[in-house]
Chain A
Amino acid sequence: MTDVAAVHGHAKSGFWARLTAPENRGPLLVAPAIITLFVMNIFPLLWSFGLSFFNYRANRQNVPEFVGLKNFERVLTDEKIWDRFQTTAIIVGSSVTLQLIIGFSLAMLFAKHFPMRRIIMMLVLTPMMLSFVSVGVFFKLYYEPTFGLLSWVVNLFSSEPFALLSSSTGALIGIIFADAWMWSPFVMLLVLAGLVSVPKYLYEAAEIDRVSSWRRFVTITLPYIKSLLLLAILFRTIETFKIFDIIYIITEGGPGSSTESIAVNIYRMAFQNFRTSRSGALAYIILFIVIVLTNLYLYSVNRRAHEETL
């Protein structure tokens, strides 16, 4: 018995020793993350991808029926979906542009030293630290025409209540403004990181050479912040493309469907109408678009790195 136990113990310690050998420690340490990623992310992704080729609704007991690419075809030929893509594009284009302008201006401001700079910067950064729900509720109340702040201010001049969200254009402006308010500080932060990395001697040399401020910006500042600016554009484009919470809380996609983004549409399709497979197909089309956007960014960064090495 003793011999068997000893052999067993030896085998165990041998297995343990092999497992914890220096060459195996890397995979061992990474394994929990890989397993979690697979269970929580990769498997559901593959499963939903598979489902997108079937006719399946989560609230029915029918056996899923294989329909090939029909869900993709139906989604891509649906006028309503293209309308939602168009709305999303308007929000992305306008909001990201606004975020860049505001974020860049703020970064230029905070790149200089002035009294209470740190405290003011902390305050400016606050919106991006708030939850989407808080921001959504805040702006919903802010735009409320009976007792909202915006209507109150307009009322001082027009003596009529102001209902920004009553028209398609007004509601889109409301959504874009709320999103830009929340995320401009993020752009500011990235641009500021680029600005502080510019060596001071370059500016000093430019000053000696009496270079105009515009030329200084184009030839010194911009090259240093270009990659970070691109990163900000990419992050914000991808994130705004998926915009959901703020729209759902402020307008629920209304008036009518004028502010319904593609993400809100997927949510309705999947969790309210239970078009499970079709919503899966649409979600994969969006994933594809996001991957294309990401690769465009990586391509531009790599090309720039290549140019620099030359």
Chain B
Amino acid sequence: MPLSTFHRQVLGTCAATLLTGGFSTPLLAADITINMAAPDWPPTRFFKEHFDKTYKSPAGHNTTLEMDFIPWPSFYERVAASLTSGEQKYQMIVTDSQWLGSFVEGGYYLDLTEKIKADPELIAIMEDLHPALVSAYSTYPHKSRKQLEEAGSAIAPDTHYYGFPQFPDTYVTFYRKDIFCHEGEAAAFKEQYDATLPCTYEDWQDVDWERYAQIGKFLKRKKGEQLAGETLTDDFYGISYQAGKGYDFSSMQANAFIWQHGGDIWDETNAPEGQAEGVVNSDVAVEAFEHYLSMIPDMPPVAQTGQMDIFVIQDLYMQGKVASTIDWVGLGEPVLDPASSKVHDKSAFGPAPGLRKEDGSIDRTGNIGGQPFVLTTWNSDEVVDEALNVVKWWLDPDTQIEAVSNGGQSGLMSVMADPSYNDLRPWNRAHVEMIDWQKDVWHIPLFFEMLTQQQEEFDKAITGQKSARDALDAVAEFQQELLEDDGFIE
């Protein structure tokens, strides 16, 4: 019996469906390339590696991820140059949260609010993300964690969302077990300060800035002196934290001191009423900044040059020149690598110290690190939807566990609550403890101008050219004028 035209069409369609892989795959599968700008470090390298191994587009597209791994020191400039030149090269960007304002106002970062509202999977992700991360990484104009929590839903009204966590980072304490757990050193410390030299994680939970300063004085030794039963061949130091002029390499730590003491930086959520003068240079802020500066003389001498950035302290620690450092979790993986670290088998991790309050508890408020990724505005709907599929893939609990096992971190509360989480990497317990304390610096387009001037003034104080009071007065005056000029302060 000859086939009718209708039968031929039905058979043809079935054959085509079978040939293209079944009913789950649409007939219009496309080749999609997502170009992503990313800083060159292990968390983003893993992202690419894992994507190539495991990602399958739920839409059936043939999706390729091309990542531009840009060295950290030039990352901002390279991204900024690409965006402002109009080359429209990137579909996704791993961005510092503070750049949101600058590049949202420039029209480069895509507002994802409506996409999130329309997608139950994305809403579920937002509900599961730690609120400190949603506040810092996603909202512009910036909404504080308190404002978001008061809204009572994952998607707060009158709030615009832009980013999802690619790598949520906090700073923790890296320390040498062979020194801090040495019986002789512990006994000597006990005798000198009538206190415990922290050895276990639980000991570090009780370390406040006063104790950390004592450690700095106690473990500062000259070449030829004894340390943990060995004669030193070089000068040695006990403590270190970031105090560098570049980028935000002193503000991140100094802000922590200011918040812990009860002071504040200029708060963009209070604009336009919130002032800079009187807040930034308040007596409490000055006292906090003096506290930050007070420990620097006991740190490695590079601190006195204003060049002790996050990479320098990591390096000094890995080269065995300092017994402990307060640095980002993202820089922890090389510390455990025998190829790059002399202390790979002697290191442990604890929470960062904080300020002890009157009730005996410790305030560890800190400045959040890490980066969200965002989408750019010039992509077709098809590319945007596929980029959001990549976001969902990355924030899937299985992918997140894999990322954490390879030195990454998760921002999903369900993943962090997993009983196995703390054991996946040695710093995870500290990260989970620290993330609840995180706040963020400014997100407005004037961010970089404010940061550069603040870093310069902080550097003058760090290198002894100015007092803490004079430095903060200069910062406050500059910010007041700049923010008034741009309408952020009335």
Contacts and interface: CB of A to CB of B under 8 A. Distances in A.
Contact of B84 (A58, A253, A255, A256): A58
Interface stretch (B98-106, B162-170, B425-433): B98-106
Range of interface residues on chain A? 20 to 34
Contacts of B456: 253-254, 256-257
Contacts of A257: 456, 460
Interface in B439-476: 445, 448-449, 452, 456-457, 459-460, 462-466
B305 A255 contact: yes
Contact of B448 (A147, A151, A273): A273
A70 B118 CA distance: 48
Given A59-B102, A147-B319, A256-B466, A166 B304 contact: yes
B123 interface: no
Interface string B233-272: 0110000000001100000000000000000000000000
Given A167-B463, A255-B463, A271-B77, A145 B84 contact: no
Interface string A99-134: 000000000000000000000000000000000000
Interface in A224-260: 251-258
Nearest to B106: A59
Nearest to A170: B305
Interface residues of B, number: 39
B451 to A, nearest CB: 9
Given A59-B80, A163-B302, A146 B316 contact: yes
B306 interface: yes
A166 B308 CA distance: 11
Interface string B265-301: 0000000000000000000000000000000000011
Nearest to B108: A59
Contacts, number: 106
A134 to B, nearest CB: 15
B55 interface: no
A146 B449 contact: no
Majority DSSP secondary structure for residues of A touching B: loop
Nearest to B445: A59
Given A59-B106, A255-B465, A256-B465, A272 B305 contact: no
A298 B222 CA distance: 59
14 contacts: A140-B307, A145-B300, A146-B235, A163-B301, A163-B302, A166-B306, A166-B464, A171-B305, A255-B305, A255-B463, A256-B456, A257-B460, A258-B465, A272-B449
Interface of A: 58-61, 140, 144-147, 151, 159, 161, 163-168, 171, 251-258, 268, 271-275
Interface of B: 76-77, 80-81, 83-84, 102-103, 105-107, 222, 234-235, 245-246, 300-302, 304-307, 316, 319, 321, 445, 448-449, 452, 456-457, 459-460, 462-466
